Structure 1
């Protein structure tokens, strides 16, 4: 009975997508034909083949509805496929009245709400985004306000081509994905890949993405003081190791969004970061560190296990940053194996994203885990 409640899933690597799909279907087994909604993640090596892949997987499974996207890396249970031709899918059996697919949303368009379910308003959504879409953070925040939980999870497609998304067909641009009613039992948590190295500072002077003063001191002086003498003399190395963390307002978990350092002006002691800022905002400096990232992933797994409260995990989705995986956790699919070790052996698919979506924000260097449970949450 236990295995029958798990969602069928499969994943495989091969230079020929037909061979990879055949192996993944064999792994999924015959129960795959009873599904209603599938999640499909495909290596960007297969992006040009995506219409054929979607047609084949629909024909061979009989599953009518599919969502997903392409990624430079693909995730599965205890397995990473990074920068190689691969695909992964998972098939759910939710009643078709309890979910709704959507695509092509744009913010601030009254009368064009594509998220309304026939019987009740949407509760939660899993979304895929296009990094080329203008004002994508505004679009994410706008859409989160249209689901009653206020919560989205997902990721921005990563690709050396066009970053295609799937919603029963291949689409580009904006957000796409699936909304769920509150009848579908879902829990989610986020894990950071960076950790703060100093106190919270207030931006005393800043314009656009340039910071002039922190705590009424020159921004570069504060930066040098916190990162130390060695890194401050090798700013190219520092840019790959030290980041800026912007605390999330009114968040009781101490959450923050991480942005890159993109430039300095030594003479005027200015810092430029990958985000617009203004005076009065707060920030921290943080470091990207494998040991602290692993500890935070294990913390997140403990939290989400408590949220599940003994209910069986039927399947899950994991959206991890391209800057994580092997480069942060080490080889042999270490990041995905930590999840398996923490929560057990359950169906998991996803991809390495160009930005991760949780709640109403786009993050960087994070991992977002979403689990489907065996019983509704009351």
Structure 2
């Protein structure tokens, strides 16, 4: 018999998850149907499906096959570079780059669930009123929503506008999700109700349930904090050490060489393939105890002619910047710390979804199942589902960002513990 926690049961809700891997889609779904964790569940309020791109040519068949065996009022899901879940033995498992189907069946008495599909080609004006943005998710009442799950097709444009608009319309609501993985199949990457589609799909969660977010960036700073002296859109042209008298600055590549010269051999090797840039924002809190906080972004190019560096985000003059390294040890310690904070300070979740970058997993840690295993260490036998994404969505200091190389967790919890306090995101920013 399954334990209370393994089934994700409480007196007010129930969550069961299962994971199957077979080269045949029909066989994988039959395997799900035979697993004890899903047997006899009955009608679910919500079914969330994650499927690997190994089944790209069969994506249009996923929902019809599942809906013959399982019942749910709302269906939501997408495909990814791998699937995260719980195997038939109750162990957390991350199936990377192989056939896999994960299914979570969730019953939420007292919840208000509003599924939505958004055409990203026709978004409202960001300079206009917020009501058109609220209508995209099916409600004009911000207070009625406690959290948003959001999945986006990888071929869509306007993703940052979408996140900005949803923050504009629902400023206090945590939004967590990911970008589906690209594939060679036709018809899109998103599973919504009974169809395959493009754009963005999601679920607004209200009533007696709420979403709590945990965002793990997995990087550590190296060298001093710099200040941008000259920049054009996403290209950094000149830097100087923060706090020093203005001198006009140096090319970012020159500054980086000075930083590398102070590193040990192991970190110099990491620079070759795991170098990132952290960008500070005025919205981030700065305290003597916490130091400088950064949003980590990828380096997308270097101009050898002038030593400029292109960053995967817009950059402005006067902004603080610091180089960062990413490694498995740092990522493991950060996520472990965040999950322990979550466990100690929040109500017991019913279950969780993990949206992890395809660059994590074995490629980051050198072994499988680390991110999901850390969650199950903090919450033994907690039902989880998840996906390896092409971009992760999660809030930092109340602002929703599109991340890379991140693990963005969404914990579904009873609302009563949060009803008198604003939504908050647990995260550990990279610090100097």
Say yes or no: TM over 0.5: yes
- CA shift in 2, pair 1:198/1:236, >3 Å: closer
Partner of 1:50: 59
Residue 99 (structure 1) aligned with residue 94 (structure 2): no
User: What is the CA distance between 1:134 and its match in structure 2?
Assistant: 2.0
Q: How many residues align?
A: 375
Gaps of at least 5 residues in structure 1 are none
Residue 8 (structure 1) aligned with residue 46 (structure 2): no
CA deviations on 1:289-348 (whole Å, 9 max, x unpaired) are 111111101111012113324x3x321100111111111122232222122112211110
Cα distance in 1, alignment partners of residues 329 and 270 from structure 2: 19
User: What is the CA distance between 1:96 and its match in structure 2?
Assistant: 8.3
Partner of 1:269: 307
Residue 221 (structure 1) aligned with residue 235 (structure 2): no
TM-score (norm 2): 0.79
362-371 vs 265-274, greater mean Cα deviation:
265-274
Secondary structure at the residue paired with 1:345?
A: coil
CA deviations on 1:40-73 (whole Å, 9 max, x unpaired) are 0000111232222201212211213111110011
Cα distance in 1, alignment partners of residues 366 and 72 from structure 2: 36
8 Å contact kept, 1:257–1:364: no
Secondary structure at the residue paired with 1:346?
A: coil
User: What is the CA distance between 1:284 and its match in structure 2?
Assistant: 1.4
- CA shift in 2, pair 1:48/1:170, >3 Å: farther
CA deviations on 1:203-249 (whole Å, 9 max, x unpaired) are 110113321101222211111112338899x9997352111122344
8 Å contact kept, 1:329–1:335: no
- CA shift in 2, pair 1:136/1:249, >3 Å: farther
Partner of 2:29: 21
- Aligned equivalent of 1:108, options 124, 139, 160: 124
Gaps of at least 5 residues in structure 2 are 87-91, 126-130, 241-248, 420-432
- CA shift in 2, pair 1:141/1:148, >3 Å: closer
CA deviations on 1:185-205 (whole Å, 9 max, x unpaired) are 332211112221133321110
Cα distance in 1, alignment partners of residues 268 and 211 from structure 2: 43
- Aligned equivalent of 1:364, options 400, 404, 413: 404
RMSD: 2.7
Partner of 1:373: 413
Structure 1 residues 1-378: aligned runs within 5 Å = 2=4, 3=7, 4-5=9-10, 6-27=14-35, 28-77=37-86, 78-95=92-109, 98-106=112-120, 107-108=123-124, 111=132, 113-117=135-139, 121-147=144-170, 149-161=172-184, 164-215=189-240, 216-228=249-261, 238-252=271-285, 256-309=294-347, 311=348, 313-359=349-395, 360-374=400-414, 376-377=416-417, 378=419
CA deviations on 1:103-160 (whole Å, 9 max, x unpaired) are 1244325646221349863231000112332231121121133235232000111133
